[in-house]
Amino acid sequence: MVADPVATLHRIFGFPAFRGVQEDVVTRVLAGQRTLAVMPTGAGKSLCYQLPSAMLEGTCVVVSPLIALMHDQLRAATAVGLRAATLTSVDENRAETRGRFLDGELDLLYIAPERASTADFRDLLERGRIALFAIDEAHCVSEWGHDFRPDYRLLRPLLDAFPQVPRLALTATADDHTRRDVLEQLGIPEEGMIVAGFDRPNIRYAIQPRDQTARQIADLIARTPGPGIVYVPSRAGTEKMAETLGRSTGRPVRAYHAGLDASVRARNQRDFVASEDMVICATVAFGMGIDKPDVRFVAHAGLPKSIEAYYQETGRAGRDGDPAVAHLFWGADDFARARQRIGEVEPARQPGERQRLTALAALVETAGCRRRVLLRHFGEDPPETCGNCDNCLNPPAAIDATQVARKYLSAVFRTGQMFGAGYIEQVLTGQSTERSLMNGHEQLTVWNIVEGEELRLLKPVGRALLLKDALRTNPHGGLEFGPAARALLKGEATLPLIEPPARERRRKGAGAQTANPVDDPLFEALRACRRDLAKEAGVPPYVIFHDSALREMAALRPASASALGRISGIGQRKLDAYGAAFLKVIADHSS
């Protein structure tokens, strides 16, 4: 092998050195070995096949699950001077792309798993030269994964038809069980697995109960500059949330869900990717196809499906390494609905789904470090505290709410396990209504037995009982006993409760500490220059340069092309294309 990987890394991508396990992965690929790379979002997975594609003879074939993701990566690869193309159903230049592949004029060819497994595509590959198979989002191959895609299971025969070609599988979200399955399904030896660790230290995790969710998210937006994603459980909810936040925040806000007209969906996604401050309210259909590095916050307006899904969705924040926020707002009804859904799936899957929900509950209710719970779920042994989650920044007080929990459960039992939380609270606090008179509930021993300091605990106790499965909701919204109720009533279990910090304290800790300089005329001028160049080139601003490169320009004020080229992230192609424009801005502000 003639070329030096580090020299090629600097020439093409402008980076002085590899990050994390990138060098280990690239070394195996260049040696023709089979590899599974488990690397967190933002750790530079795509570089692990883009760099070899520039160094090896032939084309790197990249299997990717979404067209939007392929087109994003195509733009980024082209911007650094790699010869790349996509072969998808929406591309009108498919014949030209096939010709470029056969003539050896492509470094990278992106393709969906559905097309990759066809006989026609295999025939095309047999007539060309392949340098590498890269399987992105490789957890999709596993039924144990949270994003199982049956088409990924059909890739093995294609890979085996070219046994001499190295294969590289990449994923950010795979627990131990899923990793083993990926190795087996894609024919990768166990020694070929490289795990980089799951920690995203730049993301600040915060979790709190819902209380006027739109207002809570508007507060988050107000103190967090930059683009953001708000995940909403339903399609209708995304549109309502977008309308409310647009009115209350003054920021551009759009909706995204599978029910929107395809052209509207595409326009909203395109505008979000190009924007420096837009907020998008979306169902989980949005995000996997977005390679946008400068998302400053991800908010969940409801419970995600699993810790794996939560990790992947929050991982869309701060991919550029700058500070970002992941804020989850949950309600006890989220857990009640999730348990109902578990009851509706086939019996064989129920234990696994229950395990997933229990893991989520542990993350939500912990009084300790959120990051520790998250990383331990993926098999790591992190420190006791991280210093960058809500509980580490504002340690919550834990109180014993067992007495109030017993009163609450007694009221549910005495009223016949058929009324909702609001009515139970009325009974416990002695609020006389037509219904309580008609039902004779004002004569019960549980009538008006909660007062004083206990009053503020009623709502959190109700949430905690649902979360712990001591209470469940029936199809009519009434509360009934769950399996954990008996132990609490008999004195065999306690109910410790986390007191949420005061709102003002919470507010301080939950906003992003932006790394960008504030009120710096040169930095703002560089951003304006980037915006103009991006518009002209028809690409999002981050494809030109990341914020970190602009910050370094503003701080160092390079006066020559060679000095500008020493800034991290500025490779030769970008220096040739954009260097003069940025040097002029710097010169104008330095004179």
Number of domains in the chain: 4
Residue 511's pLDDT band, with cuts at 50, 70 and 90, is low
Is 482:471 a contact under the CB 8 Å cutoff?
yes
- The CATH number of residue 574's host domain is 1.10.150.80
Residue 509's pLDDT band, with cuts at 50, 70 and 90, is very low
Per-residue confidence (pLDDT) for residue 14, from 0 to 100: 95
Domain range holding 433?
A: 399-499
* Average pLDDT, integer, range 7-35: 96
* Average pLDDT, integer, range 511-523: 81
Check whether 2 has a pLDDT greater than 70.
no
Scanning the structure block, which residue is given the tokens 């008006």?
A: 448
- Within-domain flag for 509: no
C-alpha 109/C-alpha 88 separation (Å) is: 10
Domain identity same for 407 and 381: no
Tell me phi and psi for residue 88, to 5 degrees: -130, 170
| DSSP strand pairing (471-473 vs 479-481) | antiparallel
| ∠ Cα 311 69 308 (to 5°) | 15
Domain identity same for 163 and 213: no
Per-residue confidence (pLDDT) for residue 501, from 0 to 100: 52
- Which residues face 194 on adjacent strands? 37
Domain identity same for 187 and 59: yes
pTM for the predicted model, two decimal places:
0.83
- What are the helix (H) ranges across 479-571? 485-489, 503-510, 521-537, 541-544, 547-556, 561-564
Least confident of 170-174, 252-256, 569-573: 170-174
C-alpha 384/C-alpha 373 separation (Å) is: 10
Residue 367's pLDDT band, with cuts at 50, 70 and 90, is confident
Classify burial at 4, counting beta carbons within 10 Å of its beta carbon; exposed 0-12, middle 13-18, buried 19 or more: exposed
Domain identity same for 331 and 367: yes
Domain end, chosen from 378, 395, 412, is at: 395
* Average pLDDT, integer, range 307-334: 92
C-alpha 170/C-alpha 178 separation (Å) is: 12
Check whether 448 has a pLDDT greater than 60.
yes
Q: What is the pLDDT of residues 122-140, one digit of tens each?
A: 999 999 999 999 999 999 9
- Within-domain flag for 512: no
Residue 512's pLDDT band, with cuts at 50, 70 and 90, is low
Check whether 587 has a pLDDT greater than 80.
yes
Q: In what order do the strands lie in the sheet with 108-111?
A: 84-87, 108-111, 59-63, 130-135, 167-171, 35-38, 193-195
**DSSP-derived 3-state class of residue 463:** helix
Per-residue confidence (pLDDT) for residue 288, from 0 to 100: 55
291 vs 304, which has greater pLDDT?
304
Domain identity same for 357 and 222: yes
Domain identity same for 108 and 156: yes
The chain-wide mean pLDDT, for the chain, equals 91
Please give the share of the chain, as a percent, with pLDDT higher than 70.
Answer: 96
